[in-house]
Structure 1
Amino acid sequence: MDPFSSSSSIGSSSKISPDDLMDQLKTQLAQAYAEEFLETVRGKCFEKCITKPGSSLSGSEGSCISRCVERYMEATGIVSRALFNQSR
């Protein structure tokens, strides 16, 4: 008997409710969005703020990165709210 034709309770217990599936999809989308956001911020802010890579950040580089990340987060929030309000 192959594992796919088994009549065990796996078939009935492996069914996912639509709500659970939606929750899983939302979680995966949020994770993908967060990863993309971090990659974008990392690339853009590093390129803008780090002029001479070294073993540590200078004070001005650290401040630049902080401001850069804050701006990206603020801009992302504004865009997200605008898109959310349009979809209503």
Structure 2
Amino acid sequence: MDSFSSPSGGSSGQFNPDAFKDQLKNQLAQAYAEEFLETMRSKCFDKCITKPGTSIGGSESSCISRCMDRYIEATGIISKALFSASHQ
């Protein structure tokens, strides 16, 4: 189905703005989630894994866990601030 088809897969060729918006929202949400996970993974890995080896030690595992928690928390705070500012 292309971006301009009806969501039912019909071949009427008519533009369906609601289906287009939904598809765009889904694609943006997926891209954001992928970027978020990759950024979190790279930042926490770089910070916590100082000597890569065949396994992750306990302190490295704890560091990664704390790093991910802080990154998620910070992102939530920023998102709330941005959304509350945009609705005022």
Shorter-chain TM-score category? 0.7 to 0.9
C-alpha displacement at 1:17, in angstroms?
2.0
Q: Does 2:70 correspond to 1:76?
A: no
Length-normalised TM-score, structure 2: 0.81
Identity, in percent, stands at 68
Task: For residue 55 of structure 1, give the secondary structure of its aligned residue in structure 2.
Answer: coil
C-alpha displacement at 1:86, in angstroms?
1.1
Count of residue pairs brought into register by the alignment? 78
Alignment of 1:10-25 (within 5 A): 10=11, 12=12, 14-25=13-24
- The structure 1 segments of at least 4 consecutive aligned residues displaced by more than 3 Å after TM superposition are none
CA distance, structure 1, for counterparts of residue 81 and residue 16 of structure 2: 31
Higher relative contact order (CA 8 A, sep 6+): 1
CA distance, structure 2, for counterparts of residue 32 and residue 72 of structure 1: 18
Structure number with bigger Rg: 1
Equivalent residue, structure 1, for 2:39? 40
Equivalent residue, structure 1, for 2:27? 28
